[in-house]
Structure 1
Amino acid sequence: MPTQLEMAMDTMVRTFHRYTCKEGDRFKLSKGELKMLLQRELTDFLSCQKDPHLVDKIMQDLDANKDNEVDFNEFVVMVAALTVACNDYFVEQLKKKGK
């Protein structure tokens, strides 16, 4: 029986590859695939954003090797950064409740 962390890792890998197979390199996200992933998998995050160029900015920030695609390593950086931000928010909320 896999652990929760192993299941989370499996989910990340499967989610990434569910979107990479739509166009271009089947092991990387194009800008269109990244946009679709963000819209479907991070709906709440995107709904809070008002910047119409957000996907372009995310793509530019993630695309470390500047090949106009996001590979799995670059994708993991985004997921990790968002996870850290969520944890920071959670910790702050707990601290406020504890005061």
Structure 2
Amino acid sequence: MLSEMEHTMESMMFTFHKFAEDKGYLTKVLSGEKEFPGFLENQKDPLAMEKIMKDVDQCCAGRVGFQSFFLLIAGLTIVCNDYFVVHKKQKGKK
């Protein structure tokens, strides 16, 4: 049985390979609101996803490998966590 952390890691690997298919990389398929609607709807910066994608696409090829995919997800998670922490603190004040 996988631990919660192992399950999270496995999910990230399966997700990457699902979208990458046999190419071994992702294109801007993840830049759409389709894959991150809940996370992106409350962002102060509507271009956050595009900025993070540009940061991880260091070759400027419009595609990312697994390592860059992981950085993309980490960047989005950090942005979303910042919102979550602020929102949680505001809820606690009421």
TM above 0.5, yes or no, is: yes
| Percent identity of equivalent pairs | 37
Distance 1:98 1:27 in 2: 47
The higher relative CO (CA closer than 8 Å, separation ≥ 6) is in 2
CA RMSD of aligned residues (A): 3.0
Q: Which residue type is aligned with residue 90 of structure 1? A: F
**Which AA in structure 2 matches 1:11?**
S
Q: Write the distance in 2 (CA, Å) between the matches of 1:56 and 1:92.
A: 23
Question: What's 1:20 paired with?
Answer: 20
TM-score, reference length from structure 1:
0.67
Q: What secondary structure sits across from 1:41 in the alignment?
A: coil
Distance 1:48 1:72, change over 3 A: same
TM-score, structure 2 normalization = 0.70
> Which deviations, in whole Å up to 9, do the C-alpha atoms of 1:49-89 show, x marking residues without a partner?
8x6x8876554332123343211111111111111122222
Between the aligned partners of 1:5 and 1:95, the Cα distance in structure 2 is 26
Distance apart, 1:46 and its partner CA:
5.2
Question: What's the counterpart of residue 62 of structure 1?
Answer: 56
Instruction: Flag structure 1 segments of 5+ consecutive residues without an equivalent.
Output: none
Question: Residue type of the partner of 1:2?
Answer: L
2:83 to 79, 83, 89: 89
Aligned: 1:80 with 2:77: no
